């Protein structure tokens, strides 16, 4: 970007307008309406889509496209945010979008209204500088339930696109992927994840007559220890080792003199590209069976959650983002796959996808905030990327 001043001013204004929308999942809060108010005058055809699923809240989404040809670059993000918590604990009101000491405060400043504002500013400046889009297509795919169950957002938007015969050639997801400085990391994949519920069955009884009961707690502890201390793998060239973490241990009991009839543990498993969902489930079951045989435990095991592992192999898209980051910041980003999951796990089935966004240090925290300088840097990276992509 030859002149950062105007796009930076626009970026801040866009970010403030988005943060001031109280779009806590699944509320739209005016955020999508604001995006539409900017995109339509810039020539984008906007579609506001409310997706529904029995047993879940309705979710409003936005798809906006400029152009009809290839290559088609899509920017994907979400305007929904997590609740602010105790608002009195914030230094600045969470939906006021106040600027103080070079920082923009507000829920969603980092995750991820700030990145949406940066890409919006970069796109508007690119179109203004070039007199419009001379080739290909540019689109925004913005959902309202990424922070929740992700049922009525990106998956259904992608199905809607497929039914219309629309194709994406590349996608940028604006999740806060940076660690210490904007652009120091670019995500080219994510580990898969699955949740497991293990229930060890015993026999309830009086703790003074333990011989008449069967205490499931020590047996559960042995199985939890085995699962937690047995390595799944050593990692791969692009992924860190797979990880199984016990997250909840509980018994249906509030009395101190009663041996419970069952005990349960919840696990969250993050797995790399050595595994599939089915393979990880089989590994967990085998380890449970081994430990259960040693202690004579009876158990049941159930799995839930969705998120297959994926990797965008380094190639033209990844190199173009790496070049944009290096041109703006002077450093080459690390290509990583760590962290949690994102809607990129759905998009990867349609096209290559990379994630590049702000520093994630204050995401979901009280006093979530972003330095104004970081907004300028990310807007410049996106702007540089657009130049390269549509060259």
Which residues are the active-site residues? Answer: 80, 146
Contact between 129 and 4 under an 8 Å Cβ cutoff? The reply is no
Distance in angstroms (rounded) separating the CA atoms of residues 378 and 271: 30
Contacts of 331 (CB under 8 A, 6+ apart): 181, 183, 184, 325
Tokens 């203004």 locate to 128
Q: Two tokens at 388?
A: 């390269």
Contact between 324 and 354 under an 8 Å Cβ cutoff? The reply is no
Distance in angstroms (rounded) separating the CA atoms of residues 389 and 135: 10
Contact between 116 and 127 under an 8 Å Cβ cutoff? The reply is no
Distance in angstroms (rounded) separating the CA atoms of residues 8 and 375: 7
Distance in angstroms (rounded) separating the CA atoms of residues 162 and 108: 30
């Amino acid at each position: 970007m030859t002149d950062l001043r105007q796009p930076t001013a626009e970026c801040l204004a866009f970010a403030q307008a988005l943060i001031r929308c109280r779009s806590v999942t699944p509320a739209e809060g005016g955020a999508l309406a604001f995006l539409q108010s900017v995109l339509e005058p810039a020539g984008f055809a906007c579609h506001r889509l409310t997706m529904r699923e029995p047993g879940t809240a309705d979710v409003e989404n936005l798809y906006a496209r400029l152009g009809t040809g290839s290559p088609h670059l899509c920017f994907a993000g979400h305007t929904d945010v997590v609740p602010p918590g105790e608002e009195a604990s914030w230094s600045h009101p969470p939906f006021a979008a106040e600027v103080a000491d070079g920082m923009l405060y507000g829920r969603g400043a980092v995750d991820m209204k700030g990145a949406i504002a940066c890409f919006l500013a970069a796109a508007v400046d690119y179109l203004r500088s070039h007199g419009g889009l001379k080739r290909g297509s540019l689109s925004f795919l913005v959902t309202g339930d990424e922070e929740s169950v992700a049922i009525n957002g990106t998956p259904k938007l992608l199905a809607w696109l497929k039914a219309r015969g629309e194709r994406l050639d590349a996608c940028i997801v604006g999740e806060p992927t940076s660690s210490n400085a904007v652009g120091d990391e670019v995500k080219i994949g994510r580990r898969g994840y699955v949740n497991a519920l293990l229930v060890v069955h015993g026999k309830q009884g009086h703790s003074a007559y333990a011989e008449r009961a069967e205490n499931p707690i020590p047996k559960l502890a042995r199985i939890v220890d085995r699962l937690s201390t047995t390595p799944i793998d050593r990692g791969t060239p692009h992924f860190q080792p797979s990880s199984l973490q016990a997250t909840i241990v509980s018994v249906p009991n509030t009395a101190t003199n009663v041996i419970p009839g069952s005990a349960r543990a919840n696990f969250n498993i993050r797995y790399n590209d050595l595994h599939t969902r089915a393979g990880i489930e089989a590994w967990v079951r085998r380890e449970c069976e081994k430990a259960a045989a040693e202690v004579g435990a009876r158990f049941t095991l159930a799995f839930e959650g969705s998120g297959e592992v994926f990797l965008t192999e380094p190639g033209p898209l990844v190199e173009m983002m790496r070049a944009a980051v290096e041109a703006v910041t002077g450093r080459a980003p690390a290509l990583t796959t760590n962290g949690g999951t994102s809607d990129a796990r759905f998009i990867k089935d349609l096209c290559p996808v990379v994630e590049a966004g702000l520093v994630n240090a204050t995401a979901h925290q009280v006093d979530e905030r972003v330095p104004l300088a970081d907004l300028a840097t990310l807007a410049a990276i996106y702007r540089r990327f657009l130049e390269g992509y549509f060259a």
